[in-house]
Structure 1
Amino acid sequence: MLAGDDRTLLEAVRAGSNSAFGELYARHCTAAHTMAKQVAETPTDAEDLVAEAFAKILDVVRRGGGPDTAFRAYLLTTVRNLAMALNSRGRRLHLAAELEAFCAPESHLSSTDPAMVEPERDLVGKAFARLPRRWRHVLWYVEIEHRTTAEVGKRFGISRNSAAALAYRARKGLREAYSQVCADEPTRRRLAAPGQLLAEAA
């Protein structure tokens, strides 16, 4: 366990410390889950809200933004705002349509330099491993097994729209994780569609 108040830990996160953010997570995850259960429609949505809230805050803090103090208040506000977006029916329908658009086949990987394939697989594997377990599962079902959102919903015990929203968040999370992994690489590539990334890494 790292010593110091939240301000000290946030400063360490901005300096690149992953363990400092892990300590913030340990201190505040219970409060985040309590809030998420109050505002989410389902327990599974609550888990996703917490994971996405911490991921968003980590990204913001690493870029120099976010809170300097009152981390818990910032976290709970983030969870609540994410829930408001998720619980909007119009938003869910939009996500379902957007999910189908993401699944459209592209030809980007067919023109990939063979010399780049193995390094790319390594980057994708690292990005995929950073995702919450539930996000990894839903991406695998949708992108590799080509399950429909209705099938995914049945597997997870949620509605089709909830499954579409979950897949959308997982895709977005993969893109963000991939970008973070690439940030430390000397050569960056244009990010392909999430399905292409997973298919290549599989």
Structure 2
Amino acid sequence: MRAGDDGSLLEAVRSGAADAFAELYARHCTAARTMAKQVASTPADVDDLVAEAFANVLDVLRRGGGPDTAFRAYLLTTIRNLATAVNSRDRRVYLAAELDTLQVDEALPFVDPAVAELDRAMVRQAFMRLPRRWRHVLWYVEVEKRTPAEVGERFGISRNSAAALAYRARKGLREAYEQVCRGEATQRRPAAPGRLLTAA
């Protein structure tokens, strides 16, 4: 497995490193299949959509185009466009290879609704994998914007212990999200909150 973030892997692909693209495939294949299942007209089209999307993106990268970051969003948009092309051949569809030629305001971030909904679904799955106590502390801190002191009072623990609990809950959510993206059915259970509090 090749190390590095997606940005460094994309640079390596443009330099001709086949193993870098293999790593990108391994990281994002599950998300690609999830998107393909949502937009394919038949189940038989899923594998074809995924294979063609990766092939198109690889071709664009080898020609020096494509994304510098946000590889997954670019890939999923490619799959969606390919499915649209198959389902609506009488309409003009911009495929992945054409995205570089579009004139857009780069100051405005592109948000694909289908990609955004898929990401929200993955976040929900990751959140529900967390222990109940971690879900509660994340809700208080991230949604209700409670301070560590307020969270500590609600949980009957010190301010520092509440801050440590929130830190570990965020870390657990990131790990759970990565596991959902990789398609892992179960999560390696994090350390119990009680152990974290005694260590805080």
- Relative to the length of structure 2, the TM-score reads 0.44
Which structure carries more helix by proportion? 1
Higher CA-based Rg: 2
- Relative to the length of structure 1, the TM-score reads 0.44
